């Protein structure tokens, strides 16, 4: 069944995108990087690099497509686990792997919501949610959902909220559910909340409540040499400055918090 799924994912990826023109880079990246990497790609091309085409989706979806043979040059994940998975399947070049950014986890509501939640008092979250759904990524696959599960577990809320989640396919879908008022609350990255004026941040989850949010990047095995130059740009002064402009932090150091 897993083999069939991987073949289907690879076929869908091939159908969804035409072959990249010669000299163009194809970068598969986590949905939460949509705006920031779009700007990085433009800056890279203006500086003399190749044109960059992006495919943004959940890290899990992209990793499975790459594993199935999708034509990507660079992969940027929203957590280490999916990059580790590709490393185990020998689909990335280990020497090119580097952490390029960090993020935070926040609780959001629609911009016109009157909810007040201080996460030092977890019962306030339950009261604000009521019978509604808590939007976040699917904890069984999507990095933001995994971080959300860890944070809710740390607050003692996971057993009470696990069945009340709106399990989105990626963080931008979860963000949209709250922005449209289809979910009264959501758990997303701080950078996503910042990019959407139709939501507001109620509170930030304590940093100790979830594993450090780290974005690793690596060249996909078989990619052109240009792919390594793009990662160097992404981790260099100009790329890092653009990421900071969009609210991303420097990649956090390893911590003792378990995944």
Q: What is this structure's pTM?
A: 0.86
Spatial contact of 202 and 17, defined as CB atoms under 8 Å apart:
no
Pairing of strands 165-168, 74-76: unpaired
Superfamily (CATH) of domain 105-204: Periplasmic binding protein-like II (3.40.190.10)
Distance, C-alpha 70 to centroid of its chain: 19
Q: What is the mean pLDDT of residues 221-235?
A: 94
Spatial contact of 79 and 21, defined as CB atoms under 8 Å apart:
no
Q: Note the pLDDT tens digit of each residue in 48-84.
A: 999 999 999 999 999 999 999 999 999 999 999 999 9
Domains 2-101+214-245 and 105-204 share a fold: yes
Q: By three-state DSSP, how is residue 172 classified?
A: helix
Q: Note the pLDDT tens digit of each residue in 140-183.
A: 999 999 999 999 999 999 999 999 999 999 999 999 999 999 99
Encoded tokens for 141: 């696959």
Spatial contact of 201 and 107, defined as CB atoms under 8 Å apart:
yes
Where along the chain do its domains lie? 2-101+214-245, 105-204
**Domain 2-101+214-245 = CATH 3.40.190.10:** yes
**Alpha carbons 112 and 198: distance in angstroms, whole number:** 8
């Amino acid at each position: 069944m897993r083999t069939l799924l991987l073949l289907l994912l690879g076929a869908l990826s091939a159908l969804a995108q035409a072959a990249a023109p010669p000299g163009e880079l194809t970068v598969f990246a986590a949905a939460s990087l949509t705006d920031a990497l779009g700007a990085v790609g433009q800056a890279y091309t203006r500086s003399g690099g190749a044109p960059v085409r992006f495919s943004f989706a959940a890290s899990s979806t992209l990793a499975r497509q790459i594993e199935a043979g999708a034509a990507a040059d660079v992969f940027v994940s929203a957590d280490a686990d999916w990059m580790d998975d590709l490393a185990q399947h020998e689909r990335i070049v280990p020497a090119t792997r580097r952490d390029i950014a960090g993020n935070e986890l926040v609780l959001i509501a629609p911009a016109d919501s009157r909810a007040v939640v201080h996460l030092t008092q977890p019962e306030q979250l339950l009261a604000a949610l009521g019978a509604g759904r808590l939007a976040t990524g699917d904890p069984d696959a999507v990095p933001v959902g995994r971080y959300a599960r860890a944070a809710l577990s740390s607050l003692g809320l996971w057993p009470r909220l696990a069945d009340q989640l709106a399990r989105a396919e990626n963080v931008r879908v979860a963000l949209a559910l709250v922005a449209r008022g289809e979910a009264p609350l959501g758990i997303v990255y701080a950078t996503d909340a910042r990019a959407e004026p139709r939501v507001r941040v109620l509170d930030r989850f304590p940093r100790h409540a979830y594993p450090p949010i780290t974005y690793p990047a690596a060249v996909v095995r078989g990619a052109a040499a240009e792919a390594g130059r793009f990662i160097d740009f992404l981790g260099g002064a100009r790329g890092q400055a653009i990421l900071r402009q969009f609210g991303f932090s420097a990649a956090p150091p390893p911590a003792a918090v378990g995944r």
